[in-house]
Amino acid sequence: MERRHSLKSISELKIKIFADGADKDGMLEMYRNPLIKGFTTNPTLMRKAGVSDYQAFALNILKTIPDRPISFEVFSDDFAEMKIQARKIANWGNNVYVKIPVTNTRGETSIELVSDLTKLGVRLNVTALTTLDQVKDVAFALKGGFSAFISVFAGRIADTGRDPVPHMSSALELIHMCPNIELIWASPRELLNIFQADAIGCHIITVTNDILKKLPLVGKDLQDFSLDTVKMFRNDAIEAGYKL
């Protein structure tokens, strides 16, 4: 007999969903969705979206999204220049969080920079973390400072064959004495990750538009889903004009 499991509705989730992307139309579409509590971007997403003027894009977006947290990332590889960029980005709006990578491309830690910036009152989103040692060091640097996010790339951890759930649970334990810090489950790979992150008490999950578009499927009857799949195969075969 098939076992039935209770499934929370999206409205019952305590975790905050942030839309991850840099396509303006997509971001504005998500802004109209009350389920979306914030936004994150990065240079890779901006490049894919065809953004050529970083600052102009950011300021344009902030005119339309002035009241939800939104993260923009520095792109220098030099810590002194990162600091200059971070302070400039922070001045774009009160809802802006500045993304600082946990290291530069030479693997040198950004902990000192993170500590300096949070003391200056810059809201930070320290990004690209994967290890618990990184979480511990960044949390220590941010503790007692301004509101901050720590983005642990759970999806990339899963890509290595490791279960991200216990890993993220351990990360939460490391920051539980830091009320100014919220943990982000970054780079999810599927809609299920939203429910996994919520179940362990993670504060935020960043989700791309392609995954967010699957939200209407939550709780869908599996028998109906099976039939929809059969119909899809049949319709595609007809549209392709296949014959035997």
Q: Rounding to the nearest 10 degrees, give the CA dihedral for residues 18, 19, 24, 30.
A: -90
Range of the domain at 108: 12-217
Percentage above 70 pLDDT, the chain:
97
Q: Is the pLDDT of residue 5 over 70?
A: no
The model's pLDDT over 61-113, given as tens digits with 9 standing for 90+, comes to: 999 999 999 999 999 999 999 999 999 999 999 999 999 999 999 999 999 99
Residue 1 has pLDDT above 80, yes or no: no
Quote the strand ranges of 57-169, DSSP E: 70-73, 96-101, 124-129, 148-152
20 lies in some domain: yes
Q: With bands split at pLDDT 50, 70 and 90, how would you rate the model's confidence at 6?
A: low
For the chain, how many structural domains are there in total? Answer: 1
Interacting residues of 137 by C-beta distance below 8 A, sequence separation 6+:
109, 111
Higher confidence at residue 12 or residue 230? 230
Q: Identify whether 126 is part of a domain.
A: yes
* Structural domain includes residue 36: yes
Model confidence band, residue 228 (pLDDT cutoffs 50, 70, 90) = very high
pLDDT at residue 11, rounded to an integer = 80
Strand pairing class (96-101; 70-73)? parallel
| CA pair distance 42, 127, nearest whole angstrom | 10
Q: What is the CATH number of the domain that holds 172?
A: 3.20.20.70
Question: What percentage of the chain exceeds 90 in pLDDT?
Answer: 93
Question: Domain for residue 155, yes or no?
Answer: yes
Q: Are 100 and 124 in contact (CB under 8 A)?
A: yes
Q: Give residue-wise pLDDT tens across range 146-196.
A: 999 999 999 999 999 999 999 999 999 999 999 999 999 999 999 999 999
The pLDDT mean for the chain works out to 95
pLDDT of 3 above 70:
no
Indicate the Cα dihedral angle 9, 11, 16, 19, nearest 10°. 80
Q: Is residue 237 part of a domain?
A: no
Q: Within a domain: residue 230?
A: no
111 membership: H or E segment, kind and range: helix 111-119
In a domain, residue 6? The reply is no
| 88: in domain | yes
Q: How many CB atoms lie within 10 A of CB 123?
A: 20
Beta-carbon contacts of 218 under 8 Å, excluding residues fewer than 6 positions away, are 7, 9, 10, 191
What single DSSP character describes residue 202?
-
**Could you read off the pLDDT of 200-225 as tens digits, one per residue?**
999 999 999 899 989 999 999 999 99
